[in-house]
Amino acid sequence: MNIKKHNNLNIGEQVVSIETNILYSAIEIEYIGDVKLINLLPRDYMIQKGKRKIIILKTNNSAKQVSDLFKYRGKAYITRAKIIESNLNSVNLFINRSALQLWNVMGLEEWDNFTRNWEDIDFDGNNAKYKYIHKTRTYDNESRQFTTTKEIRKK
């Protein structure tokens, strides 16, 4: 099952990119959470991040479109995106979260292993997590010994 639309905003594990044939003048992206941006656009593009919106302006009239918009660090919970043409018409973008879903690996796994539970998915949209070692110490009454277990967690 390959989700393919004409106007996509693709959210990867580190990069957000756009895939469209429309000649746009601006992109408006609404998001939830905290995200830090690293601009991947050329000099003739301006990118500005506000409290819940990211605005990208194209300052030239060139027909050349770039695909990679920005790298992000944090939660990429993008809720809505649209592009604005030079005649001020707006077109909604389909938000492609293929990095957050397991549908893109259907040919590689068996049907029993498919899931839509967040606990079973490796990437949950937050690439700002860091690994740490969690230690738990328990006492066993029968053997009268302490047991220490260590596990790697992400925070």
pTM: 0.66
- Per-residue pLDDT reduced to its tens digit, 105-119: 444 455 555 555 545
Which domain does 90 fall in, by range? 8-100
Asked if the structure places residue 79 within a domain, the reply is yes
Asked if the structure places residue 35 within a domain, the reply is yes
Beta bridge partner(s), residue 133: 152
- Residue 26 pLDDT exceeds 90: yes
Asked if the structure places residue 137 within a domain, the reply is no
- Per-residue pLDDT reduced to its tens digit, 46-92: 999 988 999 999 988 888 888 899 998 887 788 899 999 989 899 99
**One-letter amino acid for residue 22 of the chain:** I
Asked if the structure places residue 82 within a domain, the reply is yes
Asked if the structure places residue 111 within a domain, the reply is no
Asked if the structure places residue 95 within a domain, the reply is yes
- Domains of the chain: total: 1
CA distances from 108 to 69, 105, 113, 114 (A): 30, 5, 10, 11
Q: What is the DSSP annotation of 70-137?
A: EEEEEB-EEEEEEEEETTS-EEEPEEE-GGG-SGGGTTTS-GGG----GGG-S--SBTT--EEEEEEE
